[in-house]
Amino acid sequence: MRAVRTTLKDIANACGYSVNTVSRALRGDERLSEATRSLIRETAGRMGYIPNTMASSLRSGRSHMIAVIVNDLHNQHYCDLINRMDRELRARNYNLMILCMQLEDELAEKLIHTAISLSVDGVLYFPSVGQRHYIEYMKDNGMPFVLLDRRVNELNADTVRCDDEQGGYLAGRHLTALGHKRFLFLSGMEQSSSQIDRLSGFRRAIRESGLREDCVRVIPGVQVEEALAHNSLAALLDPIDYTAIVSFRDEVAYPVMYALRGQRISIPGDVSIISFDNLHAEDPTRPLLTSIYSADENIAALGVRMLLERIENPSLPPRNVVLPVRIYDHGTTAPPAGIR
């Protein structure tokens, strides 16, 4: 048989008070005596009463629920950010709802509709390049939101992201200063503005160093993801006609390191590796990896703060925060063997 949910009326019948008095007691109305409130709370707890938060949100205009819309929960970078968001929101008496596109960008519109229909107080959203019209839909429906980790061109909205172009540039300057002249760039997916900006910054550094752009072999993100899925990274990395690898994200760099070491290639002795996201900061049990990430503020913490400010004050002007980045040098880059 289907379990029957305990209602306010059930509690009222059990303890001899009106439904209105029960409701007031469970809301902590201090105009009722402590004895009355204690009896009603005890009765509600014994009967397994669970408040109807939807009804409460209709009365108060707040659900104290925030939705995060993310592309891929297999990506540890996203998981780390979501974990930080959850801690930040709980400290402010909000709960977090996770809606995942599972790498299917066309699901974005459906998930935005879901968030709005559930009356969440706001949305933390990881957008792709071509999703401007979905984001405009949130604006048109008065839904507070903050875009995280990515930019969307020609869209005036609250955004928090790292300076990915500068990150790519730092990677290029770092490696060329060490003396590297041939590179492998393992890309992210093309719909990510971070991929576009990191590669652009890296190529800017290559031009400034006086090297030809054909010194960089670029592997498209689709091929990188396929190699990961089919455990064929070793084939993707051949031929090893480069001395340095730039990986779009740490989660790719780690299996690349394992694949190279499986071929008895030393890191950084034979090949240097630099990446992005600095996952080691959130999980020190991960192997050391030279990586690039924000120099100061955490994207997740700042995004939560900006969203709650937007909820409290919808008339605030849109804010576009681009965080500076730095290299966290954990020893996986060095000068090429020939010039040491």
151-205 per-position pLDDT tens digit = 888 788 999 999 999 999 999 999 999 999 999 999 998 888 999 999 999 999 9
In whole numbers, what is the pLDDT of the chain averaged over residues? 88
pLDDT digits (tens, 9 = 90+) for 208-234: 999 998 999 999 999 999 999 899 999
**Pick the residue with more confidence: 18 or 58?**
18
For the chain, what percent of residues have pLDDT higher than 90? 56
Can you give the pLDDT at residue 54?
Answer: 54
Intrachain domains 63-162+296-325 and 164-294+327-339 with the same fold: yes
- pLDDT recorded at residue 119: 85
Exposed/middle/buried for 119, CB within 10 Å: 0-12, 13-18, 19+?
Answer: middle
> What pLDDT shows up at residue 1?
41
The superfamily (CATH) of domain 164-294+327-339 is Response regulator (3.40.50.2300)
Nearest CA-CA partner of 340 in 172, 178, 176, 181: 178
Judge whether residue 73 has pLDDT over 70.
yes
Nearest to 191 by CA among 73, 104, 264, 273: 104
Query: Domain residues of the chain, as ranges?
Result: 8-51, 63-162+296-325, 164-294+327-339
- The DSSP code for 337 is G
Which residue has better confidence, 48 or 42?
A: 42
The pLDDT tens digits for 225-262 are: 999 989 999 999 999 999 999 999 999 999 999 999 99
- The pLDDT, as a whole number, for residue 58 is 47
Assigned architecture for domain 63-162+296-325: 3-Layer(aba) Sandwich (3.40)
pLDDT digits (tens, 9 = 90+) for 157-169: 999 999 999 999 9
Q: Are the beta carbons of 184 and 244 closer than 8 angstroms?
A: yes
Helix%, strand%, coil% for the chain, nearest 5: 45, 15, 40
Give the model's pLDDT for residue 330: 95
